[in-house]
Structure formats: structure tokens, C-alpha cells
């Protein structure tokens, strides 16, 4: 009999909990969203983009910059960026793994007179990026990230005009 009373008491508590939760959900007021202006961020610089043929590097890139044979070029363009900067970007799919890509470019760029300004790899190892400078008027940004087809290598050269 004592066991039966416990089961009835537990069943009543469960029913009361469900009833209370149902009442709470049905009587809850919808939240209102306050439209707040975006943070006072500076506008993105304006630029004019020109697509380039995918079978050749932009002329300002070192001729042997791409360290792979027959990469699948995804994008190749140059852009005039507001503020007197010329941007040259090429993106391709690599058959190499991320660490090998980074080590290959690190070795190549250091051997050819570039110095590292920043280097970082995300904790998830899905993206790595390295920024390399040479002199006052040029900067290379190398980003390597994982996509379905393989690792994408994104090389951008920025040059002051």
C-alpha cells in the first residue's frame, strides 16, 4: 500500500509539472525586438574588381609563387581599392594537406626575402592564415582553408600605389 501511494504521488507531481509548464508556455508574452542601429563601424573600402584569366598569375606576383603543378584555379582578379591600394588575388584548390601548404609557402617566401608579420592557425585547423610583408609598399596575405574539394589556397598581394 505504501508503494502504491508513492506511485500515485509521483504521478500527480508529473501531471502538475506538465500542467504548469503548459500554462507557462501558453501565457508567455512574445519578446519584442528592439531595432538598434549597427555599431558605428567604418564603411568597407570601395573597390573596382577586374577578373583575370585563370591560366596566368597577375604580373606583380613572383612567377614561381604557386608551388604546385596544375592547380584548379577558382578565382583570379585584381582590384583598385579606395585609398591607393592595388589588390591582386588568386584562389586555387590544392592537392596537398594544410600543414604542407603552409610550410611550403613559408619556406618559399622566407627564402625570397619576405618576412613574417603575423601567423596563426585556428584551433579547429579548418583555417590557417599567415601575413607576410616585404618593404613598405607590398604585403602578401596567405589563407588556407578546408572545403569539400580540398584545401583552398588564397593568396592576396596588396601594393600601395
**114 lies in a domain?**
yes
pLDDT reported for residue 41: 63
User: Range of 121's domain?
Assistant: 47-160
7 assigned to some structural domain:
no
Q: Is residue 6 part of a domain?
A: no
Q: What is the tally of structural domains in the chain?
A: 1
Percent of the chain with pLDDT over 70: 62
Reported as a single tens digit per residue, the pLDDT across 104-160 is 888 888 888 888 776 666 555 455 666 676 656 788 888 888 887 788 999 998 888
Q: What is the CATH number of the domain that holds 130?
A: 3.40.1000
DSSP symbols for 118-160 = EEEE-TTSSEEEEEEEETTTEEEEEEEEEETTEEEEEEEEEEE
8 located within any domain: no
The DSSP output letter for 20 is H
Question: Do the domain assignments include residue 18?
Answer: no
Amino acid at each position: 500500500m505504501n508503494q502504491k501511494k508513492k506511485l500515485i504521488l509521483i504521478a500527480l507531481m508529473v501531471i502538475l509539472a506538465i500542467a504548469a509548464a503548459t500554462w507557462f508556455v501558453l501565457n508567455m508574452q512574445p519578446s519584442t525586438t528592439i531595432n538598434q542601429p549597427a555599431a558605428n563601424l567604418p564603411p568597407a573600402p570601395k573597390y573596382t574588381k577586374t577578373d583575370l584569366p585563370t591560366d596566368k598569375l597577375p604580373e606583380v606576383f613572383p612567377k614561381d609563387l604557386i608551388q604546385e603543378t596544375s592547380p584548379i584555379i577558382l578565382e583570379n582578379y585584381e582590384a583598385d581599392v579606395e585609398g591607393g591600394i592595388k589588390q591582386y588575388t588568386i584562389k586555387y584548390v590544392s592537392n596537398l594537406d594544410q600543414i604542407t601548404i603552409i610550410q611550403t609557402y613559408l619556406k618559399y617566401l622566407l627564402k625570397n626575402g619576405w618576412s613574417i608579420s603575423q601567423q596563426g592557425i585556428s584551433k579547429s585547423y579548418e583555417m590557417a592564415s599567415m601575413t607576410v610583408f616585404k618593404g613598405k609598399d607590398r604585403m602578401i596575405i596567405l589563407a588556407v582553408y578546408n572545403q569539400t574539394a580540398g584545401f583552398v589556397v588564397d593568396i592576396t598581394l596588396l601594393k600601395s600605389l
